[in-house]
Amino acid sequence: MNVVVVGGAGFVGSHLTERLLAEGHSVDVVDDLRCGSLANLAAARSLGGELKIHTLDAAAPEFADLVAMRRPEVVYHLGVLPPGQPAEHTAGASLASVLAVLEAARLHGPVKVVVALSAVSLYGDVPSREQPVKEATPWKPVGLRGVVAKAIAELLVAYRELHAVEFTGLAMGNVYGPRQRADGGVVAAFAHARRDGVTPMIHGDGRQTRDFLYVDDAVDALVRAGQRGGGLVVNIGTGVATSVREVWDAMAGPSGRPGAPSPRREADVQRCALAITRARIQLAWAPWTDLATGLREL
């Protein structure tokens, strides 16, 4: 199977590329390297197989030419609103690249499009009584990141209804694991702080909760979404809410220094855990890595 991975030199994208190559697929990585790194693909290159790397913005006209030439069965887009980058700087590029991917699929299909979205951005602040969050929960995004995530999810639905472009959207928890940049998420920030022996910054009181998802589990969901879950937005998480402070306490250990408090960020969501019944049914997927195991892998 021919597959294109937009953002394939990034954290999740490089792990996905390795998995696809190991399964014998031909992979074209498309990445402009603004957030990704060729170093992330070192392990993928060592696997052999058919891997092509294109230093290219998916919004560029050459992307449609690539899809026309390679005729992939699936295009994964993992470059939406990259963490660590101000949303006001990446919102327009994220929308443009998703639109370009959908247009290429319309013109040169049949191509299935799989897009990874931030569940926190998409759902916003959901009351405790409605946790874990189900896919039927209305999207009430907070802040620019949420507005863009919702717009992208609606674009996917529109292209399916208007142009029969198949898609699966994955509303993911907070993915963590090896190769993640320090600004890529709270676990990565803590891991770098622990390595460097410095005090990490904890926004607010640290009681805000997230659904932390190990990267191997996220990749498994992405691979399954390439063939399943058509026309759906599917939650990908663990169903477990863990506070930011609990994560640091687990990583620092009994002798670790406490995190340094800082003001709560604007539009920061207070709680998030994801119900994954739809993923079990539609993708035949469930996570297998608990947080303690995942943190040990770091």
Structure confidence at residue 260 (pLDDT): 62
pLDDT tens sequence across 238-253: 999 999 999 999 998 7
* Average model confidence (pLDDT) across the chain: 93
Structure confidence at residue 256 (pLDDT): 61
pLDDT tens sequence across 125-171: 999 999 999 999 999 998 899 999 999 999 999 999 999 999 999 99
Structure confidence at residue 88 (pLDDT): 86
Q: Which pair of tokens denotes residue 288?
A: 């297998």
pLDDT tens sequence across 205-225: 889 999 999 999 999 999 999
Structure confidence at residue 255 (pLDDT): 54
State the average pLDDT over residues 112-126: 96
Phi, psi of 171, deg, nearest 5: -90, 100
Structure confidence at residue 45 (pLDDT): 93
Q: How confident is the model at residue 84 (pLDDT cuts 50, 70, 90)?
A: confident
User: Which residues, at least 6 apart from 195, have a Cβ–Cβ distance to it below 8 Å?
Assistant: none
Structure confidence at residue 211 (pLDDT): 98
Predicted confidence (pLDDT) at residue 258 exceeds the cutoff of 80: no
Residue that wins the pLDDT comparison between 287 and 143: 287
Q: Which domains does the chain have, with CATH numbers?
A: 2-175+211-239+276-290 (3.40.50.720)
